Amino acid sequence: MSMPRFHAVLTGASGGIGRAIALKLAPLCETLILVGRDATKLTALQREFPQARAVAADLTTAAGREAVRRAAAESPGGIDLLVNNAGAGEFAWFLDQSDEMLERIVQVNVLATLQLTRRLLPLLLAQPAARIVNVGSIFGHLAYPGYVAYSATKFALHGFSEALRRELADTPVQVSWFAPRATRTAMNSAALCALNEELGVAMDDPQAVAAAFVALLEHPVRERLLGMPERLFARLNQLVPGLVDRALRRQLPAIRRHARGEPTQPSSQGVHP
Ligand SMILES: NC(=O)c1ccc[n+]([C@@H]2O[C@H](COP(=O)([O-])OP(=O)(O)OC[C@H]3O[C@@H](n4cnc5c(N)ncnc54)[C@H](OP(=O)(O)O)[C@@H]3O)[C@@H](O)[C@H]2O)c1
């Protein structure tokens, strides 16, 4: 199958999923702007691809977002693909989370994503065809204990994707929502990995997530959720939320114990969203 040659911006390129996407996306790109805060990681990645350019920027700052906009405006051919993948999360009991962490999660996942997208939108609208892919999470469909703040932001991002898709429906810019399930990256603490192991929750490799991302580029759809039974539980959560409440209630002792670092006790098995 012939693939379009993208002129892309990828945020969160220094992270686990972002790096895996970059490795698969770069060969499909004429130009690729890799965004993250860790300049060392970005530069190492950029060296592998002559068409790539690294922009080390904190997207929660106006200066960081402007650095990305400038790089995109100067890039030959402009940009026709924006992948909003940068994100922050913390597996923790809501009561235990600091104001600073709540602020960081909301700023990175929601505010910075909206602000960067609005800043880059004129460049995307100038193209005959362009795409925005927002990397969400299954927790943007099914809110989960231990991920109260993170779920709130991914629901917000999901709403952003849907509304923007509808607002841009008569323009050349298509908007997609891409929602991975638990994935083995630095975002997930040892406590979360231990919980998932105890509950039998599968965790994907970033490479598998990146392969699904490329499939979404090949066959554009409005929304792509990864994994079973996660997709099923997301649907059930829409139709019969009380059923999901009861299933998660059974998982709660294990979730609380891992999130708060409490001593190990036997736990009941529940659903595995
Ligand atoms: N891992 C999972 O289980 C999972 C599941 C579903 C969805 N997701 C989503 O997938 C995306 C990637 O997550 P990941 O697992 O790859 O996490 P990760 O390894 O922690 O990577 C996060 C990325 O976001 C960047 N970032 C964070 N704050 C930033 C800021 N202020 N300015 C610019 N860049 C910033 C990081 O850059 P630096 O490291 O350079 O600071 C890094 O590149 C996120 O949106 C996440 O919510 C993850």
179-189 pLDDT, tens digit per residue, is: 999 999 999 99
Number of domains the chain is built from:
1
Evaluate: CB of 85 within 6 angstroms of ligand 1: yes
Average pLDDT over residues 123-139: 98
Range of the domain at 146: 6-227
> Of all protein residues, whose CA lies closest to atom 20 belonging to ligand 1?
187
Residue 255 forms part of a structural domain = no
- Choice from 23, 33, 37, 60 to test ligand 1 binding pocket (greatest atom count within 8 A of CB): 37
Q: Which atom of ligand 1 is nearest to the CA of 206?
A: 16
What is the pTM (predicted TM-score) of this model? 0.95
Evaluate: CB of 37 within 6 angstroms of ligand 1: yes
Residue 204 forms part of a structural domain = yes
> Of all protein residues, whose CA lies closest to atom 46 belonging to ligand 1?
87
Evaluate: CB of 58 within 6 angstroms of ligand 1: yes
Residue 267 forms part of a structural domain = no
Residue 148 forms part of a structural domain = yes
One-letter amino acid for residue 205 of the chain: D
Q: Which atom of ligand 1 is nearest to the CA of 138?
A: 6
Nearest alpha-carbon partner for 3 in 28, 26, 23, 30: 28
Handedness of CA 235, 143, 109, 33 (dihedral sign): negative
- Choice from 84, 110, 183 to test ligand 1 binding pocket (greatest atom count within 8 A of CB): 183
Average pLDDT over residues 86-111: 98
Helical spans, DSSP H, in the chain: 16-25, 39-47, 62-74, 99-106, 112-125, 148-167, 190-199, 206-218, 230-239, 241-260
Active site residue 150: yes
**Residue 265: pLDDT band by 50, 70, 90 thresholds?**
low
One-letter amino acid for residue 218 of the chain: E
Asked if the model's pLDDT at residue 235 lies above 60, the reply is: yes
Residue 24 forms part of a structural domain = yes
Residue 39 forms part of a structural domain = yes
Asked if the model's pLDDT at residue 20 lies above 60, the reply is: yes
Per-residue confidence (pLDDT) for residue 78, from 0 to 100: 97
Per-residue confidence (pLDDT) for residue 4, from 0 to 100: 59
Which residues partner with 11 through β-bridges? 35
Residue 117's CATH number = 3.40.50.720
Residue 145 forms part of a structural domain = yes
Average pLDDT over residues 222-238: 96
Residue 222 forms part of a structural domain = yes
Average pLDDT over residues 240-244: 97
Per-residue confidence (pLDDT) for residue 266, from 0 to 100: 52
Does residue 271 or residue 105 have the better pLDDT? Answer: 105
C-alpha of residue 260 to centroid of ligand 1, in Å: 23
Q: Which atom of ligand 1 is nearest to the CA of 18?
A: 16
Q: Which atom of ligand 1 is nearest to the CA of 184?
A: 1
Q: How far is CA 11 from CA 42, 160, 248, 269, in A?
A: 11, 17, 32, 37
Centroid of chain to Cα 143: 15
Report the mean per-residue pLDDT for the chain.
95
Reported as a single tens digit per residue, the pLDDT across 145-169 is 999 999 999 999 999 999 999 999 9
> Of all protein residues, whose CA lies closest to atom 47 belonging to ligand 1?
87
Torsion of CA 44, 48, 54, 59, to 10 degrees: -70
- Choice from 114, 187, 226, 230 to test ligand 1 binding pocket (greatest atom count within 8 A of CB): 187
Evaluate: CB of 151 within 6 angstroms of ligand 1: no
